[in-house]
Amino acid sequence: MRRIGLNGWREKVGFISHYPGLIISGGGDIDPACYNGFAHPTIYSVDRERDAFELQLGKFALERHLPILGICRGLQILIVACGGTLIPHIPDVYGTSALHRLEPEPGRRLPTEHFVMIDVESLLADCLQNSHMSVVSWHHQAVDKVPPDWRVVAHAWDDGVIEAVEHEHHPWAIGVQWHPELSILDPNHQRLFLALVQAARTKKTLMG
């Protein structure tokens, strides 16, 4: 694979400066080399080209104060882009009862529902108008080391896994470990997307 230098990636992600907001969506696992992690047999669907692109995309959006929502892998991209680390496999740290996705058979992965507790003094709680809610998740990794300028704003009710983070000095940068798009008929999850749209409209006005 042809390697692209830092300046090359910054040129590639520069298009985002014309947009007032960004969602970084879910997907396969991030290459552990991106956060000085280690290989694990459960890591799957690694795409180093996508990793490199999205890590630079996240940095670019954060630098320009664009409203940004990271969903599942997208949350992890934001954390790794800022120097944080990930837990390669949640059960290794939280025990086998900590299930944030279902695996009824080898190679088959399904989402599962659980509750999260949200910091009432957070932007996320303001957006959701709630401090505890049911979410649908589909992940086996989670945030380990939280980088500077980010803070944890939600945990899983049953096992304490980090479920959401937000940037302390950015006008609107939130990452959720669950998949709000899988509960789109739930008003709680609709509010998160509506809040992002409103933040993007405000940013667009400022951009002229």
**Cα–Cα distance measured from residue 58 to residue 196, given in angstroms and rounded to the nearest whole number:** 16
What is the full DSSP assignment across 20-81? S-EEE---SPPPGGGGT----TT-----HHHHHHHHHHHHHHHHTT--EEEETHHHHHHHHH
105 is catalytic: no
The active-site residue out of 139, 170, 179, 189 is 179
82 is catalytic: no
The active-site residue out of 72, 82, 114, 189 is 72
Helical residues (DSSP H) of 64-150, grouped into ranges: 73-81, 90-94, 123-128
- State both tokens at 182: 């899988």
> HSE of 75 in the Cβ direction (CA atoms, 13 Å)?
28
72 is catalytic: yes
Phi-psi label, residue 65: left if phi above 0, alpha if psi -120 to 50, beta otherwise: left
As beta bridge partners, residue 206 has: none
The active-site residue out of 40, 89, 155, 181 is 181
Catalytic (active-site) positions: 72, 179, 181
